[in-house]
Amino acid sequence: MTPAVWLLVLLGALTSFGGAVGGIGGATLLVPVLLLTGMDIIDAAPLGLLSVAATSLAAAGRQLDAGLVHHRIGLTVELAASSFAIAGALLSTSVPAPWLARALGLGALTGAVVTLSRRGNRNPSNQTFRDDSPGEWPGTLGGTYHFGDASVPYHAQHVPLGLAVAAVAGAISGMAGVGGGFLKTPAMSEVMHVPVKVAAATSTFTMGITAAAGLLVFAGQGRIDATSGAAVVLGAMGGATIGSRVQTGLPATRARTVTGVLLILVAAVVIGRSL
Amino acid sequence: MNGGPGDDPLSGAPHDPRGGRFDPLARILRWARWVVVVVALGAVGLGVAGLDNPAGVLAIAMVVVLVGVPMMRVGWFARRWTVRGDPRFAMVAGAVLLLPPTGLLISVLTG
């Protein structure tokens, strides 16, 4: 059952707003809501990925200007995630829908626990870097970002473990039609010790690539409905544009709380429905 | 502040050689966002009016932009890092560029 067009526009807007603020992408919220309307996850997945792609594009310009996206970290993580996203999308038609939903719920719950279990800021500001442009240091997985008057240097750690989590995120993303940001953002911020705001913005960038890979597979399988897809994209562009503005000015600790709470809601809905 | 060449004359902030380095890319991304909004609006309008074929054509155009823009962005960085002597990450970006067409090829071949 497909909801009315106006409802898809509204759902796309609300979920992408929340997804952009929390750096987890709109689809992590949209797909569970579509399941609640009675839609099957096989039909909801392409709409989810369209919402992810729209969210990523809507936030891109602002996050690029703010120097929040670390493209080297993003593409390194994405190489692992997209490989497994393709495998997941190809397998999605042969895995039972309840198992897909449970995998999505478990992933969201893991992301929530990891995100909410930490207190305080891991990366303190440093006046040495005050006059540096925010952004990445060439040839490395390090950089600085500005928040207010402070400059915060950072460098990615535990990269192999972060890539392993990204691969799991990619597989779930390809199967369930979500961007995987609910695992990629905690993987970058909690495993690789990248500041949460950089992790959220970088994750939003990489989700666009994951979505592109998955959408091509769904297009090849003839699973994209024109009107429903356009409705979700239309709402998602509006919601994510406003959400990315809110996210850029949000303190890191509050951004983590928003991410964690949203993930708990997602896990509760998805796991509850699959039981 | 020493007031060197290129410094901001109003604030006295030192010239930042890295400032504005992503402006061309950011401009393209903003244009693409508006293209997607207009095309999606058209597809929804035509779909609601029952004109499924033109709505389908616009939806395909929308998907092409949504898939193409992140790939263009990755290609932009692959080229930039190649030109600026960062071959390791240029290769990572090149490998990421190969993944979506590989996925499409596999999905078409496997039906």
Chain A, window 3-42: residues with a beta carbon less than 8 angstroms from a chain B beta carbon = 5, 9
Locate the domains of chain A by residue range: 5-274
- How much is the pLDDT for A94? 79
- How much is the pLDDT for A120? 57
Q: Is A2 on the interface with B (CB under 8 A)?
A: no
Torsion angle defined by CA atoms of residues A47, A171, A89 and A84, in that order, rounded to the nearest 10 degrees = 130
**What are the tens digits of pLDDT across the range B78-100?**
999 999 889 999 999 999 999 88
Q: Is there a contact between B77 and A5 if contact means CB atoms under 8 Å apart?
A: no
**CA distance to partner chain A, nearest, from residue B67 (Å):** 4
- How much is the pLDDT for A12? 92
Confidence at B111, pLDDT banded by 50, 70, 90: low
- How much is the pLDDT for A185? 83
- How much is the pLDDT for A170? 84
- The yes-or-no verdict on residue B41 having pLDDT over 80 is yes
**Burial tier of A172 (Cβ tally within 10 Å: 0-12, 13-18, 19+):** buried
- How much is the pLDDT for A121? 58
Q: What burial letters (b/e) apply to A259-269, b meaning 16+ CB within 10 Å?
A: bbebbbbbbeb
Q: Where are the alpha helices (DSSP H) in A92-225?
A: 97-116, 159-176, 181-186, 196-220
Q: Is B110 on the interface with A (CB under 8 A)?
A: yes
- How much is the pLDDT for A215? 84
- How much is the pLDDT for A88? 82
- Give the separation between CA A250 and CA B43, rounded to whole angstroms: 34
From the CB of residue A147, how many other CB atoms can be counted at a distance below 10 Å? 19
Strand order in the sheet with A142-147: A135-136, A142-147, A150-155
Task: List average pLDDT for each run of 10 residues in chain A, which is 275 residues long.
Answer: 81 87 75 84 86 88 82 93 82 78 81 72 56 72 78 88 89 74 83 87 86 81 85 93 79 75 82 75
With contacts defined as CB-CB under 8 Å, which chain B residues touch A56? 70
Locate the domains of chain B by residue range: 23-109
- How much is the pLDDT for A156? 92
Longest Cα pair distance anywhere in chain B, in angstroms?
A: 66
- If you measure CA to CA, which chain A residue comes closest to B88? A139
- How much is the pLDDT for B13? 47
